[in-house]
Structure 1
Amino acid sequence: MNFPDTLRTTRHRRRLSQLELALRAGTTQRHLSFIESGRSAPGRTMVVRLGESMELSLRERNDLLLAAGFAPVYPQTGLDDPALHHVRDALGHILTGHQPYPAIVVDANHNLVLANDAFALFTDGVAGKLLEPPINVLRLSLHPDGVAPRIVNLSQWAQHILDRMPPGELRDELAAYVPYVEPGPEHVGFAAPMQLRSPKGDLHLTTTISTFATALDVTVAELKLEAFLPADAATAALLTQGLGN
């Protein structure tokens, strides 16, 4: 796909009019129309501005630059590269500081990058094949040989996961593991605490997800830190049991 088509398709996907995008990017609708029709070729700075104005991910911005004939601006460094040692170190401190509550870091494909010791609550009793790298945490959660048998509200939790996933092979696979259950009249949304049976007892866990919004490296920008928190006092007490002894 050439650049005018790529830009137009991306703008439509973002549900932006030419005027809205032009105002965001600091240009005119006429100039943007010329770019989308191929009558005007944008410079690299304009392409970067358009990507930023559409709030594209760094990977998508690089793709937009390539479509326009420019080299990617944003590097993609392996997390094991010495240049990102400070990132791994900082993430390790965050995960350790979240103890005794489970916390993980995943990449753009939901593969496990880092985890703290408390995450063992989830891997207890899981089939070894699901723990072979790369460990996909969504598959780990919903696979019949994974955490799924210990999730009391599995249908509800699974729908919470599936609702946040784009169409694709992984989503189709996960959806096949858990039959869809039509919400009842008292349904208030799928963002409910996970009810997990664990060696510590029955836990009610809620989650919070953090991203690295100001990162200028594709790898770092795509990382997500998911922290599990107790949803009630009983769960907090179970998770902190034995600390300080």
Structure 2
Amino acid sequence: MTIQPRAAEPSVGALLRTWRERRGISQLELAGRADSSSRHISFIETGRSRPSQEMVLKLADHLDVPMRERNALLLAAGYAPRFAQTPLDDPSLGTLREGLERLLTGYEPYPAIVVNSTYDVVAANRGILMLLDGLPGHLLAPPLNAMRITLHPEGLAPRIRNLKEWRGHLLAQMERQIALARSEPLRKLYEEVAAYPVADRPGDGEPDEPVPYFALPLVIEHDGHVLSFVSSISTFNTPMDVTVAELAIETMLPADPATVKYLRSLGG
């Protein structure tokens, strides 16, 4: 039996070069941003020079490398990871969890949700649960995934009046994230949801509701009503933990008075 040699792990220089090329930045431009020289950047990328821990983090910052991948850069350079990856149910993140719960509850009756980097649902309020009412059990089984629930033909997709536009928006959002981060799980999720069949709706191609000029709305049917929302996504400033850095809070703001009136009637 022939044993295949294990492939060598990429060097820190090769990884930095990949991130620089992905961002479309020249060695000279990166050197200027990092108060270095293009010669030094070249030496790092070719392995002729070993960067200090501080230089690895500085270059990663100017290349907008995700926190998870900054740890990978440090390991490749021979240093210990700088950023912890604490499970969300760890006692040390209790204050964070309580804060998120208060935020979601305070936003009711409007929908709000917290997801991780692959759109698995971390927390959701009653506004979100209202929209999910009646979905099949296999889509609601943990881990609940926001993209899968929204675009699956047995999920919310048949209820979305402007599915073509909303689906295009979500897929483009995932494409941008994949371009910014080396996430194989996210790429697999994208391939899955992009392959879902899309059923034609009566009147496709003609907008059901006027589109607010400031944002594309999600126009969705619920219990005989047509609701319209615009979405806002928030992340944490200056996170120091991979788990926290990958959390996103999405809030759905009513886009018309009828939606406000209906949701407030439920909240009352």
TM-score by length of 1: 0.92
Which whole-Å CA distance do the structure 1 matches of 2:39 and 2:238 have between them?
Answer: 31
3-state SS of paired residue (1:195):
strand
Task: Give 1:37's aligned amino acid.
Answer: T
Match of 1:18 in 2: 27
Q: Contact 2:153 / 2:198 at 8 angstroms: preserved in 1?
A: no
Q: Contact 1:65 / 1:71 at 8 angstroms: preserved in 2?
A: yes
Task: Give 2:247's aligned amino acid.
Answer: L
Which whole-Å CA distance do the structure 2 matches of 1:41 and 1:207 have between them?
Answer: 44
Aligned length: 241
Which whole-Å CA distance do the structure 2 matches of 1:71 and 1:104 have between them?
Answer: 34
Matched, 1:209 2:233: yes
Match of 1:135 in 2: 144
**Pair 1:15–1:204, CA change in 2 (3 A):** same
Superposed CA deviations along residues 161-180 of structure 1, whole A, max 9, x for unmatched, are 11111362222221222449
Q: Contact 2:109 / 2:266 at 8 angstroms: preserved in 1?
A: no
Match of 2:36 in 1: 27
In structure 1, stretches of 5+ residues that fail to align are none
Alignment of 1:36-115 (within 5 A): 36-115=45-124
**Pair 1:57–1:217, CA change in 2 (3 A):** same
In structure 2, stretches of 5+ residues that fail to align are 1-9, 179-186
Q: Work out which of the residue numbers 173, 177, 196 in structure 2 matches 1:177.
A: 196
Identity, % of aligned positions: 48
Q: Give the C-alpha shift of residue 115 in structure 1.
A: 0.5
Match of 2:243 in 1: 219
Q: Give the C-alpha shift of residue 220 in structure 1.
A: 0.4
Match of 2:220 in 1: 196
Q: Give the C-alpha shift of residue 192 in structure 1.
A: 1.7
Q: Give the C-alpha shift of residue 243 in structure 1.
A: 4.3
Which whole-Å CA distance do the structure 1 matches of 2:20 and 2:43 have between them?
Answer: 15
Q: Give the C-alpha shift of residue 120 in structure 1.
A: 1.5
Q: Contact 1:121 / 1:199 at 8 angstroms: preserved in 2?
A: no
3-state SS of paired residue (2:195):
helix
Which whole-Å CA distance do the structure 1 matches of 2:238 and 2:77 have between them?
Answer: 24
Which whole-Å CA distance do the structure 1 matches of 2:160 and 2:63 have between them?
Answer: 38
Superposed CA deviations along residues 55-86 of structure 1, whole A, max 9, x for unmatched, are 11111111111111111100000000011111
Match of 2:128 in 1: 119
Task: Give 2:219's aligned amino acid.
Answer: Q
Q: Contact 2:132 / 2:156 at 8 angstroms: preserved in 1?
A: yes
Match of 2:3 in 1: none
**Pair 1:180–1:119, CA change in 2 (3 A):** closer
Which whole-Å CA distance do the structure 1 matches of 2:258 and 2:152 have between them?
Answer: 27
Which whole-Å CA distance do the structure 2 matches of 1:2 and 1:224 have between them?
Answer: 31
Superposed CA deviations along residues 2-30 of structure 1, whole A, max 9, x for unmatched, are 12211111110011111111122221222
3-state SS of paired residue (2:58):
helix
TM-score by length of 2: 0.84
Match of 2:181 in 1: none
3-state SS of paired residue (2:249):
strand
Match of 2:256 in 1: 232
Q: Give the C-alpha shift of residue 233 in structure 1.
A: 1.2
Q: Give the C-alpha shift of residue 238 in structure 1.
A: 1.0
